[in-house]
Amino acid sequence: MITIDTSQDPVVTIDRLATGQLKSLIRLLVDSEKGFNEAAHNILDADLAGLFQSLAIARAEMVVELQYLIQDQGDVDSDGGTMAGIAHRIWLDLRSVIRSQDSDAILAEAERGENYIKLEYERAMRMVWGDHIHSLLSLHFLTVQATRDQIGNLRDFLGAI
């Protein structure tokens, strides 16, 4: 059991399953950040490159927030379970699409990745957390959902042109 002392929750106890879920989210977000950075550097459209760069920065911030919850207790090890493999495959698919520099295909793959991350946040939010952690997860979920919607809307718009 990991105990996280926060200013908003006197003491929040997180079991190993919940800690594992946080680590899985961190791995997904790191993969997402890398994917957005790679897309920003390889896409020809300057506006999309700027969007992907800002999304990568936002993901890095989300990673730090989740790592704080775990590292505060000295638990920094990261296992390479199935979740990491799935996330890696998603971003490998994106990587191959990025090399083609096809904006529509890149947006479609990014949207697919966002859908997966969104599902993992939904799973995490069903666990029992203290108010502070649940609020952070909810905020992250809304960010991922907004990113997914933004990418989907851009894909639809560009496809209609």
List, in order, residues 6 or more apart from 1 with CB less than 8 Å away: 13, 14, 15, 16
Distance (Å, whole) CA 131 – CA 149: 27
Instruction: Please report the pLDDT score of residue 21 as a whole number.
Output: 87
- Dist. CA 7–CA 91, nearest whole Å: 36
SS (H, E, C) 3-56: EECCCCCCCEEECHHHHHHHHHHHHHHHHHHHHHHHHHHHCCCHHHHHHHHHHH
Secondary structure of residue 2 in the 3-state scheme: strand
Q: What is the pLDDT of residues 70-108, one digit of tens each?
A: 876 556 555 444 455 556 556 656 666 666 667 887 888
CB 37 within 8 A of CB 53: yes
Task: Give the Cα separation of 67 and 63 in Å (integer).
Answer: 6
pLDDT band (50, 70, 90) for residue 3: very low
Which domains does the chain show, CATH number per domain? 2-74+81-160 (1.20.1260.10)
What are residue 3's phi and psi, to 5 degrees?
A: -110, 125
User: Residue 55's closest CA among 138, 127, 148?
Assistant: 148
Quote the distance between the C-alpha of residue 74 and its chain's center.
22
Model pLDDT for residues 37-57, shown as the tens digit of each residue: 988 888 888 999 999 999 999
